[in-house]
Structure 1
Amino acid sequence: MAVPPDVGDEVDVLLRAGPFHAALRAAVERSGLTLERLRDRLDRRGIHVSLSTLSYWRLGRSRPERADSLRAVQAIETILGLPRHSLEALLGPPRPRGRWASKQQQTRDYGRMLEPAQSLAEIVQALVGPSDGDLRLWSQDDAATVDEHGVLRTIHTRQVLRAVAGHPDRYLAVYCADAGTPPDALGVEAVRDCRLGRVRRHPGAPVIAVELLFDQSLRAGQTHLLEYRFTIAENGARSHDYRRAFRYPVGTYVASVQFTEPRLPVRCYALAQPGVDATQVHGDELALTPGRVLHLTAKDVRPGVLGMGWDWS
């Protein structure tokens, strides 16, 4: 089959921007395979997908959602010579079903725990799917850095996640920067054992959300360790605290902030908001170590907010 000279460029563009069905159609056309031959190659890998299903995916009349369908998408990426997760990342979370109404309420509640609340809720709700509640945090470690201008520049997170139901294959990570930070100053990196899926930035607020895709779906009871990093450009606003909001319980939480001389805080303290409707309170004063590191530890954390604040003068 003759392939038009501009098809390759079209595939590259669609793999970055989507939608899924258009990217799949263009990639199949570029390969020169018919749907029948693509189905046969999947069969040889032990993955059975009907010809009508492949046609529906290509036309956008349906999309892969179940675990076996997602395995088929991963195999199609290999067969068509596409980058790993390039098609899968265009799918997003499964379509709403069943308990979705209660999950929407959880999303709105999450938006009330951090500012800017409405902007946060808008971005999170665009990415949260019905499988969101199938994961729980076993442990989490946040390591943040603050530069010599007082701007929080990086947050490196290491998490152990545990599947409690379903077959989760992604995690939603969110960061809200300090007020006054330009929305385009926020970035995100997948560091270890995850890949970036969809990334959403609010157009008018410093809020970013990202899907972190796993290499395979998790079984109930299975754990997964991953690392990712949020970054803030030099034009970010001066920071006065670092807070983490938890939608679900977490077994162990450790947070640290490393400051850069000559700008060091004169006073540091714990912050807590034990629940969606609770008031944020200042806790005990915290010591800054000789290495210019502030840290906080907590065990059996309930939904709410934990963090650390500091005064510059």
Structure 2
Amino acid sequence: MSVRPDVDVLLRTGPFHEALRAAIDRSGLTLERLRERLARRGIHVSLATLSYWRLGRSRPERADSLRAVQAIEAILGLPRHSLESLLGPPRPRGRWAARRRATGRYGSMLQPAQSLAETVDELVGPSDGNLRLWCQDDAVTVGGEGAIRRIHTRQVLLAVDGHPDRHLAVYCADPGTDPDAIVPEAVENCRLGRVRRHPAAPVIAVELLFDHALPAGQTHLLEYAFTVEGGTEAVDYRRAFRYPVGNYVMSVRFTEPRLPVRCFALSQHDDGPVERGADLVLAPGRLVHLTAKDVPRGVLGIGWEWT
């Protein structure tokens, strides 16, 4: 006899329709009773629509449908956003379907490029093209053995079109790092959505979900981090920008006893070669940083040399 997965497990792993079906079954409510409960809250969803959602024949995508999902979570006694986070971005339609591949690619800016594309493309949705970076701060910590241990990112995002409700964060660790050793964290003003790890390469892509969709012209401040358990010796940290950013700050803090003998700036314009820039001063607090304004599409980074 087969055993159906537990509701709490399905709420973490999905898919949406199976988690919804299991939660409804556990509640003891019929679809008709659920529809009535929604109507009492001023949310009107047809019985056929609820049935299609439960069977996986369609899924909620419009704003009123997402409000219905949030109400269903409350009616069924589920954690807030537990069902909603399983939906992912809306399915591409019209012109978006044609331009999805272009907006989802990093080209050769980060390596391994093929593994990156295989990890990222599934998560790229309309929100990706509707957000721009207003400013960003990356704080990197390098452990005493020379491996990158943590990257803490603070961003201000600007909605330029549509109603974006999520942001895609990507990290490519140094070769030889176990993909499962990269741990994402939603630090402030966001929550984790879907997480995709490449099965063989140290690449991870994470959805950062907002509490509400952003109208055009509105900004959103968030913080997230990646922690690397283990890892291999690093000689640089690079940040790729698919879209221009107004102001950018990168800092790298080195942990004693091992310190680099030299630090320097790195840059790459679009898909061109990586270029070494000016030397950077390692401050007494074992901290080195760089700043940039009106950053175009490309890569900025800090490199270092060990003894």
Instruction: Please list, as runs of the form range in 1=range in 2, the aligned pairs for 1:52-91 lying within 5 A after superposition.
Output: 52-91=48-87
- Equivalent residue, structure 1, for 2:123: 127
Provide, for residues 104-163 of structure 1, a one-character-per-residue CA deviation record: whole Å limited to 9, x for no partner: 02323x142101111001101011013320111111111110010001000011111111
1:263: Cα distance to partner? 0.6
Instruction: Name the structure 2 match of 1:249.
Output: 244
Q: Does the 8 Å contact 2:148/2:228 carry over to 1?
A: yes
Q: Residues of 2 paired with 1:169 and 1:131: CA distance? A: 6
- Pick aligned residue for 2:273 from 269, 279, 282: 279
* Structure 2 contact 127–167 (Cα < 8 Å) conserved: no
Does residue 1:217 correspond to 2:213, yes or no? yes
Q: How far apart in 2 are the matches of 1:91 and 1:102?
A: 21
Instruction: Tell me the number of residue pairs that the alignment of Structure 1 and Structure 2 aligns.
Output: 304
- Residue pair 1:272, 1:282 contacting (<8 A) in 2 also: yes
| Counterpart residue number, 1:3 | none
- TM-score if structure 1 supplies the norm length? 0.94
- CA distance in 2 between counterparts of 1:135 and 1:61 reads 30
Displacement after TM superposition at 1:187 (Å): 0.7
Single out whichever of 65-74 and 16-25 deviates more from structure 2.
Answer: 65-74
Instruction: Write the deviation string for residues 176-202 of structure 1: whole angstroms up to 9, x where unpaired.
Output: 001111112111011111111110110
In 1, Cα distance between equivalents of 2:137 and 2:71: 34
Decide which of 11, 17, 26 is 1:15's aligned counterpart: 11
Q: 1:199 aligns with which of 185, 195, 218?
A: 195
* Structure 1 unaligned regions, length at least 5: 1-5
Partner of 2:39: 43
Question: Does the alignment pair 1:307 with 2:298?
Answer: no
For residues 30-179 of structure 1, the aligned pairs below 5 Å read 30-98=26-94, 99-108=96-105, 110-179=106-175
Does the 8 Å CA contact 2:187/2:223 hold for their aligned counterparts? yes
Q: Which residue of 2 aligns with 1:231?
A: 227
Residue of structure 2 aligned with 1:288, choices 282, 286, 301: 282
CA contact (8 A) 2:133 2:156 kept: yes
- In 2, the alpha carbon distance for the partners of 1:60 and 1:106 equals 28
In structure 2, distance between residues paired with 1:111 and 1:126:
16
Amino acid at match of 1:121: A
Matched-pair contact (CA < 8 Å) for 2:10–2:19: yes
* Aligned partner of residue 185 in structure 2, secondary structure: strand
Work out the CA distance in 1 between the residues paired with 2:267 and 2:6. Answer: 49
Contact 2:103 2:129 (C-alpha < 8 Å) held by counterparts:
no
Tell me which residue corresponds to 1:265: 260
Q: Distance in 1 between matches of 2:119 and 2:260?
A: 32
Amino acid at match of 1:129: G
Deviation, 1:262, is: 1.2
- More divergent stretch after superposition (50-59 vs 265-274): 50-59
Give yes or no for contact 2:126–2:164 (8 Å, CA) kept in 1: no
Instruction: List alignment gaps of at least 5 residues for structure 2.
Output: none
Structure 1 position 257, deviation (Å): 0.6
What SS does the aligned partner of 1:95 have? coil
Identity %: 73
* Counterpart Cα distance in 1 of 2:22 and 2:276: 55
